[in-house]
Structure 1
Amino acid sequence: MEKHYSAYFFDLGGTLLALEQDEIACSETGKVTLLPGVKDHLLPLRGTPVFVITNQAAVALGQLSEATARGFIDQINVAVGQVITDYRICMHHPLAGCPCRKPQPGMVFDLARTHTINLAQAVSIGDTTNDEQCAQLAGIGTFLWAHDFFHSVRLISQHMLFFHPHHTNEGRQSEQKAFSLFSFLPHRRRKRESASNQNLLCFKIIAWT
């Protein structure tokens, strides 16, 4: 059964939007590009608080206007049916030492106070170690890498495949097939998706999205 989170905290560039030279990729008309899977995964979150937290130091450096930075998130929100509840942008200089620039958790704390969010039951999704550290410092209960959240695997059945691998030839063949499938999963997913005891192996039936 899919876990229910109190809120979703998403990073912006590299998680929701495509990057170009480590900055949000924009066309000449200012249009951004949603990364694959973003729309399909955000639309079903309607009804649950969805937040975006992003560092945009280019504003302080004079390379980006505040309106353009806010427009990045506005464009996403239009594309995903207005499911984004709120957002915070740190526009300070990277050396300013502000408490809101990730990995510092200031933006998360501000949103949590404003919307009364239980951070221990929330999830953060990002693509850098700064995102991961921010989640840890904020006390967010779960951190997921963007690639895992949007692209790696999805559960297509809650049924479990059970077998006794050492009791019969058929069991040994099933074990080999299961481990062959299992070996394609990234290490983090393998650790999470497996369950075993002395004589019983259990694998969720999964498929690549």
Structure 2
Amino acid sequence: MKNAIFIDRDGTINVDNHYVHNISEFYFIDNVINAMIELKKMNFFLIIVTNQSGIAQGLFTQKEFMSLTRWMISYLQLYCIHINAIYFCPHHLQGTVKQFRQNCLCRKPKPGMLLDAKKRFNINMDASYMVGDTANDMLAGQLAGIGTNVLVRSGKKNNKKS
């Protein structure tokens, strides 16, 4: 069995600038690349699990999401970081794009994306981690039987005035 780090994207890997869907809006959070390098050295599978309701809301297309995802993967490969899998949920009940307006099993806090990865890669969920920036990320990890759930606040904008 493999041990994995399940990682949310927006607010965990990159700064959450609301519906990030192109390269010019994508900013890696400070030290996230260094953290991923260390996790790979520890032989963890790195699996991104991300809700992308902007697709269902018609704010960007699945093709635009995939283009940004390919760029992100290529950029991380420059640092010898291999992302083992990316799971995303394009659904939302209030979506304006009919094909994505649905109640699904993959939208966090439901654990569908994590459970699909568990089955595909034979993951030891007890020894794995869910890292995210929302309560929905933590609940998805708990419902999937993840051993350790880590809530981070690194992707939130600092509203302090200086």
TM-score by length of 2: 0.78
Q: Give CA deviations for 1:73-114 in whole Å, capped at 9, x if unaligned.
A: 333322222421001010112452211000000000011111
Match in the other structure for 1:56: 52
Q: Secondary structure at 2:54's aligned position in 1?
A: coil
Match in the other structure for 1:37: 31
Question: Which structure has the greater CA radius of gyration?
Answer: 1
| Aligned-residue CA RMSD (Å) | 2.1
Amino acid at match of 2:45: P
2: CA distance between counterparts of 1:71 and 1:33? 15
Contact 1:6 1:119 (C-alpha < 8 Å) held by counterparts: yes
1: CA distance between counterparts of 2:67 and 2:21? 13
Instruction: State the 1:26 CA deviation.
Output: 4.2
Structure 2 gaps of 5+ residues are: 95-101, 156-162
Instruction: State the 1:147 CA deviation.
Output: 3.9
Question: Using a 3 Å threshold, how does the CA distance of structure 1 residues 26 and 73 change in structure 2: closer, same or farther?
Answer: closer
The percent identity for this pair of structures is 27
2: CA distance between counterparts of 1:41 and 1:86? 17
Structure 1 gaps of 5+ residues are: 151-209
Match in the other structure for 1:169: none
Match in the other structure for 1:146: 152
| Alignment partner of 1:131 is 2:137 | yes
Match in the other structure for 1:10: 7
Q: Give CA deviations for 1:45-92 in whole Å, capped at 9, x if unaligned.
A: 334210000111111222111122123333332222242100101011
Task: Tell me which of 63, 67, 92 is aligned to 2:63.
Answer: 67
Contact 1:50 1:84 (C-alpha < 8 Å) held by counterparts: yes
Instruction: Number of aligned residue pairs: give it.
Output: 142
Match in the other structure for 1:77: 73
TM-score by length of 1: 0.62
Q: Secondary structure at 1:24's aligned position in 2?
A: coil
Contact 1:26 1:32 (C-alpha < 8 Å) held by counterparts: yes
Q: Which has the higher contact order (CA 8 A, sep 6+)?
A: 2
Question: Using a 3 Å threshold, how does the CA distance of structure 1 residues 110 and 75 change in structure 2: closer, same or farther?
Answer: same
Amino acid at match of 1:53: V
Q: Secondary structure at 2:12's aligned position in 1?
A: coil
Amino acid at match of 2:121: H
Question: Using a 3 Å threshold, how does the CA distance of structure 1 residues 71 and 38 change in structure 2: closer, same or farther?
Answer: farther
Contact 1:112 1:118 (C-alpha < 8 Å) held by counterparts: yes
1: CA distance between counterparts of 2:55 and 2:87? 14
